[in-house]
Structure 1
Amino acid sequence: MKPLKIVAVSAGLSRPSSTRLLADRLAEATRRILAEEAPVEVRVIELRELASDIADNLVTGFPAAPLREAIEAVTEADGLIAVTPIFTASYSGLFKSFFDVIDNTALTGKPVLIAATGGTARHSLALEHAMRPLFSYLRALVVPTAVFAASEDWGTAGDERTDGLSDRITRASRELADLTRRHPAAVSASAQIDEVIPFEQQLAALRP
């Protein structure tokens, strides 16, 4: 059986990073759920390692090999986890720039779990007013539960009005797993290019 591919994108800037930690926990929870029925491959992409390549790509239009490989991993994934720190009430510039260099049709129909980290819970609204619209514009299938982790969320069980971080991770990961099972990855861009009929052949078909 072909393994399901889960890719997590982390836009954390520091090392260690709470953003990377959240990406790892979401990826592992999703892997554990999917592994009950099928083999699973998980990859985490650290955008901080690709920052220079992303900037060069925005200017030149050509991705360096490491960035091209990361883009291919994202576009060919069966399920995507996108995690960013929140700066000034929105996703980070590095996070947005990475998705700017991906073709805006490449994520069509792809299951996506959105998540973010920030200093206080006040930043959690950015998931709904910034991140969800971004992936809706890209025509991805965004799971209902978005996961935000403020500094005080780590190691807590929530309160009478909210679930703890572990519960939110489990719920969102289960939603991503369910969507991933129902929506296998589309054919990769490179495979689609190989299937295009050459222009000369199309012209020949029109001649009497």
Structure 2
Amino acid sequence: MKLLGISGTITGSKTKIVVEKVLEEVKKNYPEVEVELLDLKQFDVQFCDGRNPSEYTGDTKKVIELVSSADFYIIGTPIFQGSITGALKNLFDLVPPTDFRNKVMGFIATGGTYQHYLVIENQLKPIASYFRAYVAPGFVYAHNNHFSPQNELVDKEVLERISALSEEVVFMQKTLKSTNKEPLLQ
């Protein structure tokens, strides 16, 4: 089983920090799960222009293949102007929707107001529904105040939610994998 953590931004560092924390929890508690981080900041991804995903080259092709080959996901985004990043939306546009089908997604968001957590409910979960993905019931929202001046997560409740999310996505993935011998609706 391969868990892909996605830091869905090309700016800032807080989202990546939270995604990495979830991946660390999974590695610590489930060493049999392969974990990998996709930090969009490290790739030069083209804008989706409607062509077949197999026709992209370079970093864009690598990113599409990395996302498509994962079994389940931790997807993180900062919230800008009350929405997910353009970089994450572009990634969702590049990857064929069927590559997310019947896979588990756990969500993380970071932001500067306490109301921005609603983006998970109002934007990310509907996108996952469109993909026919399974969504972990919990999520992690980290406000700027949850970090130290050195960008370390210091809020105890956020750290507890990170641990809970890591457990939920692995439990869901293992359960789906063990009970679904036949592929679900394609």
TM-score of the superposed pair, with normalisation by structure 2: 0.84
Tell me which residue corresponds to 1:165. Answer: 158
Tell me which residue corresponds to 1:196. Answer: none
Unaligned 5+ segments in structure 1 are 158-163, 187-208
Unaligned 5+ segments in structure 2 are 148-153, 181-186
Tell me which residue corresponds to 2:14. Answer: 18
Give every structure 1 segment of 4 or more consecutive aligned residues whose post-TM-superposition deviation is greater than 4 Å: none
Is 61-70 or 72-81 further displaced after alignment? 61-70
3-state SS of 1:25 partner: helix
Note closer, same or farther for the CA distance 1:59–1:141 as it changes in structure 2 (3 Å cut): closer
Tell me which residue corresponds to 1:58. Answer: 49
Aligned match for 2:3, one of 3, 6, 12: 6
- 1:59 Cα deviation after fit: 6.1
- 1:42 Cα deviation after fit: 1.4
3-state SS of 1:109 partner: coil
Note closer, same or farther for the CA distance 1:79–1:130 as it changes in structure 2 (3 Å cut): same
- 1:29 & 1:75 partners in 2: Cα distance? 23
- 1:88 Cα deviation after fit: 1.3
Deviations 1:67-105 (A, max 9, x none): 222222222212211101101111011100111011111
- 1:145 Cα deviation after fit: 0.3
Aligned match for 2:100, one of 103, 107, 113: 107
Q: Is the 8 A contact 1:104 1:138 kept in 2?
A: yes
- 1:181 & 1:175 partners in 2: Cα distance? 10
- 2:93 & 2:165 partners in 1: Cα distance? 25
- 1:110 & 1:90 partners in 2: Cα distance? 23
Q: Is the 8 A contact 2:74 2:108 kept in 1?
A: yes
Tell me which residue corresponds to 2:24. Answer: 28
Note the 1:36-185 alignment, pairs <5 A: 39-50=32-43, 52-55=44-47, 57-58=48-49, 61=52, 62-154=55-147, 155-157=154-156, 164-184=157-177
- 1:10 & 1:103 partners in 2: Cα distance? 19
CA RMSD of aligned residues (A): 2.0
Tell me which residue corresponds to 1:192. Answer: none
For 2:15, the aligned partner's letter is T
- 2:16 & 2:46 partners in 1: Cα distance? 19
3-state SS of 1:13 partner: coil
- 1:18 & 1:153 partners in 2: Cα distance? 10
Deviations 1:12-31 (A, max 9, x none): 3335x001101100111122
- 1:9 & 1:33 partners in 2: Cα distance? 20
